[in-house]
Amino acid sequence: MVKTLPITKAREELTELVNKANKLLNEYVITVNGEPRAVLMSIAEYGSWKETVDILSDTGLVSAIKKGEEDIEKGRYITFEQLKKELKLGI
């Protein structure tokens, strides 16, 4: 849930907002003079967001993901069981 609130209210409720962001994954847009200036979110959500941005900014990785998706759509893959047999692994 994303909620927008002015910085004065955010200051007053900072402890509660941090707890809700952490436990409920709430997100808050903090405004200054009515303009959005910052976002408060849990560290878990931030980490997930940051990882997504890092992946999407790596053009080689994005290309590899797209190729992998295409291979799966066209049936160009083997299962883990098939790989174990091919490598003669008794895992």
The amino acid present at 9, given as its one-letter code, is K
Domain assignment of residue 65, given as a range: 45-86
Q: Can you tell me the distance from the alpha carbon of 29 to that of 24, in angstroms, rounded to the nearest whole number?
A: 16
Taking the CA atoms of 41, 43, 44 and 46 in sequence, report the sign of the dihedral they define. Answer: positive
Regarding whether 79 and 53 lie in a shared domain, the answer is yes
Kindly report, residue by residue over 8-43, the tens digit of the pLDDT: 999 999 999 999 999 999 999 999 999 999 999 999
Predicted TM-score of the model (pTM)? 0.67
Q: Can you tell me the distance from the alpha carbon of 29 to that of 11, in angstroms, rounded to the nearest whole number?
A: 13
- Predicted confidence band at 1 (pLDDT cuts at 50, 70, 90)? confident
Regarding whether 62 and 31 lie in a shared domain, the answer is no
Q: Can you tell me the distance from the alpha carbon of 72 to that of 51, in angstroms, rounded to the nearest whole number?
A: 24
Regarding whether 6 and 35 lie in a shared domain, the answer is yes
Residue 91 falls inside a structural domain: no
Residue 38 falls inside a structural domain: yes
**pLDDT value at residue 90:** 77
Regarding whether 36 and 65 lie in a shared domain, the answer is no
